[in-house]
Amino acid sequence: MEISKNVFLQVFKSNFTYDLVETEFGQAVKMPARDAFIYSCVTGAGYLDNPIYLFTPNGLIKLFYNAFDYKFVTGIFSNTTLKNTPYIWALAKSYLFNGPKYIVPIEFQSEVKLTEYLKSAFSSLKQPENYIIQRIEASKSGYGMEPFLEYLTAEYFKCRGFIVENQIPLAHAIGSPDFGAYGLSEILAILSSSGYLPDCGFHIIELAMIRINRRQKNKSGNFDTCLIVGEAKSGHSSAVVQLEKYLDTGLFDMGLEIYRSQIKPTKKYLGLISIDSDYKVVMTPPREKYVAREPLSKAEYVKWLINYMKFYLIANFSNDEFDSFYHEKYKRSVSSQADIIRFVTHISVETILNKIKELPDVSIK
């Protein structure tokens, strides 16, 4: 089962509460602005603010190349400057967090014809930036829909209380997993007691969106530490070899194959996320535990993950606000990436959250 335009819409109808509505493009998925921003971040679907170069935050809200390391990739930070953050974009592109958005699946064979179609539509729409174009590349094996499978997997685990992420940093020699789910008891408990834990789990980029119409809820609970890694394939290739590399690190409690419609896992020690005949996203857990051949320190990885998430919290600040925050501690301005890394890794999650509470909101209408 390829994820065609029709399958795409059926999957949303079967798994989500979003409305399917008629638009100038045909049926589309109507989403609140915040949810649509996360969708674009994960899938790369672009806002139709320009018919040739559609804007997407996908690939821009990044921090590090590798786990256990603090070497910045140009993304959230450019050298010592906060550059690509939801807050900065909210000021520069006000449409991102205002009003509902419409996820439009467009199935196409030719890039040229798609561009011509979008140019024509763009000129006739009153607010084209409220449409997010989901490309479905019918000329490719799997229709180029691996990121959509990553999105479905992330939403599945969000609903089960996990912090989720796609294209996670690990190590160049091992690869970059398509999906990660973190059941981190320490940070979940802190967010819960601070009132920042949503009704269920959340995507890691939501840590950078707290001041954008912040969702404060007091919620308590018991959280276990469980780390899951996944690899998505929308064509006919296998995820097994890559998953074994990830599991051999000993950092993850479960490895997941993520396919369109496979019925059962390839190996007993792997779990499976797939779409069944009723278009429902289903999970099959592994039947055996995988024994890592070259285990690394899971405790050190968890420590790094918590620091990693603190950098996402820092993305709630403007550059001036962050420099002021830094100045409070060191009585001088930020002068290097090493300054930022030392500051963030030595400050507590609670301290950052308390400072964010002092920042003015950016409201979503």
Q: Is residue 292 part of a domain?
A: no
Domain tally, the chain? 3
Cβ neighbours of residue 351 closer than 8 Å, sequence gap 6 or more: none
Q: Counting beta carbons within 10 angstroms of the beta carbon of residue 167, is it exposed (0 to 12), middle (13 to 18) or buried (19 or more)?
A: middle
Query: In this structure, are 183 and 132 located in the same domain?
Result: no
Identify the domain boundary among 109, 125, 144.
Answer: 144
What pLDDT is recorded for position 199?
62
Q: Is residue 280 part of a domain?
A: yes
Query: In this structure, are 130 and 164 located in the same domain?
Result: no
Query: In this structure, are 269 and 174 located in the same domain?
Result: yes
Q: Is residue 100 part of a domain?
A: yes
pLDDT at 161 over 70: yes
Query: In this structure, are 48 and 108 located in the same domain?
Result: yes
Query: In this structure, are 153 and 132 located in the same domain?
Result: no
End-to-end Cα, the chain, rounded Å: 38
Query: In this structure, are 11 and 140 located in the same domain?
Result: yes
What pLDDT is recorded for position 111?
94
Query: In this structure, are 103 and 39 located in the same domain?
Result: yes
Q: Are 306 and 349 in contact (CB under 8 A)?
A: yes
What φ, ψ does residue 345 adopt, rounded to 5°? -75, -20
DSSP string spanning 256-315?
EEE-SS-SS-SSTT-EEEEE-TTS-EEEE--SS----SS---HHHHHHHHHHHHHHHHHT
Query: In this structure, are 198 and 113 located in the same domain?
Result: no
Q: Is residue 290 part of a domain?
A: no
Q: Is residue 69 part of a domain?
A: no
Which residue(s) pair with 26 in the sheet? 23
pLDDT digits (tens, 9 = 90+) for 4-29: 999 999 999 999 999 999 999 999 99
pLDDT digits (tens, 9 = 90+) for 204-235: 999 999 988 665 554 444 556 899 999 999 87
pLDDT at 196 over 80: no
What pLDDT is recorded for position 213?
65
What pLDDT is recorded for position 218?
45
3-class DSSP assignment, residue 226: strand
Q: Is residue 80 part of a domain?
A: no
- What's the whole-model pTM score? 0.95
pLDDT digits (tens, 9 = 90+) for 37-73: 999 999 999 999 999 999 999 999 999 999 999 999 9
Q: Are 131 and 50 in contact (CB under 8 A)?
A: no
What φ, ψ does residue 202 adopt, rounded to 5°? -160, 160
Query: In this structure, are 279 and 339 located in the same domain?
Result: no
Q: Residue 44 CB: number of other CB atoms within 10 A?
A: 18
Domain hosting 123: range is 5-55+93-144
Query: In this structure, are 263 and 275 located in the same domain?
Result: yes
